[in-house]
Amino acid sequence: MHLALVQLDITWEDKPANHTRIEAMLDEGQVPRGSYVVLPELGDTGFSFALDRIVDDRSVAWATGVCRRLGVWMQVGHAVWGPGGRGRNRATIVDPSGRVAGHYEKVHPFSYGREVEHFTGGDSLLRVDAGAAIVCPLICYDLRFPELFRLAVAGVRPNGPAAEVFTLGASWPDARQTHWRALAIARAIENQAYVAAVNRIGRDPHLAYAGGSIVVDPAGDVIAEAGDEATVLHADLDLSALRAWRRSFPALADIRPDLLGRIPTHDTPPASAPPSP
């Protein structure tokens, strides 16, 4: 499975400009067909609370066109309307045919940054069968909550569904960059899973961001990592090695489901092959 993490400086509340930049980066980065592309949290607007300006249908419409043209999967971060006039911070997954495979809504709005005043938290997880692997999308602040990750792998049993790759889009401020890296590594080790986390760079009207997008393997080894520049970070995942590691060191079999909470988990049907060029 090939991953492509798009780390960019997001133009504030300007979807067309960001869409143009992301497409150019994907074209220049020569992303292979069938790749799974991950964009940052609210990747085409920045971390804005101006819902009247950032909520519309363009994010998914644009992503479906790009996925069809390039034959890739894409995890696109954008805002949608939620209950009570608040928003939801969403990651929509689009497959290589341009079909929406599912969406995940950030369970943990960032109360310290006042996100909770504008966005309502989601209440379910998503596991996407992307053909090569079972992928679980998450968003930014979710990285600090290990129970979400554990619940996504709690189905680890013979032939049972379980997340193998966590893909996380973020707008993670540079003030807590050391936490970002440490938590990504910890989540991979704890869950014997790949963690692919993409962060933005640059500044918005409130904060600075240092990038540091990272891909960690199930043993906790960093296999790809970006600095603070705009880039497409590529990584090839060895799912056979992941499954062999889970079999040879079956720590996940010792999960105590009775000690875990419950959250609805939506599983997509198996993926079809990407369309031919």
Identified catalytic residue from 15, 41, 136, 164: 41
Task: Indicate if 105 belongs to the active site.
Answer: no
Task: Indicate if 106 belongs to the active site.
Answer: yes
Report which of 129, 107, 133 is spatially closest to residue 120, judged by C-alpha positions: 107
Distance from C-alpha of 216 to C-alpha of 120, rounded to nearest angstrom? 30
Identified catalytic residue from 15, 106, 115, 164: 106
Identified catalytic residue from 15, 67, 115, 140: 140
SS3 234: strand
Please say whether the beta carbons of 30 and 42 come within 8 A.
no
Phi, psi dihedral angles at 128 (to 5 degrees): -105, 125
Please say whether the beta carbons of 4 and 232 come within 8 A.
yes
Distance from C-alpha of 247 to C-alpha of 69, rounded to nearest angstrom? 38
Distance from C-alpha of 94 to C-alpha of 103, rounded to nearest angstrom? 9
Distance from C-alpha of 198 to C-alpha of 219, rounded to nearest angstrom? 19
SS3 255: coil
Residues in the chain: 277
Distance from C-alpha of 146 to C-alpha of 148, rounded to nearest angstrom? 5
Task: Indicate if 117 belongs to the active site.
Answer: no
With b meaning 16 or more CB within 10 Å and e meaning fewer, what string describes 35-64? bbbbbbbbbbbbbbbebeebbeeebbebbb
Point out the residues that are catalytic. Answer: 41, 106, 140
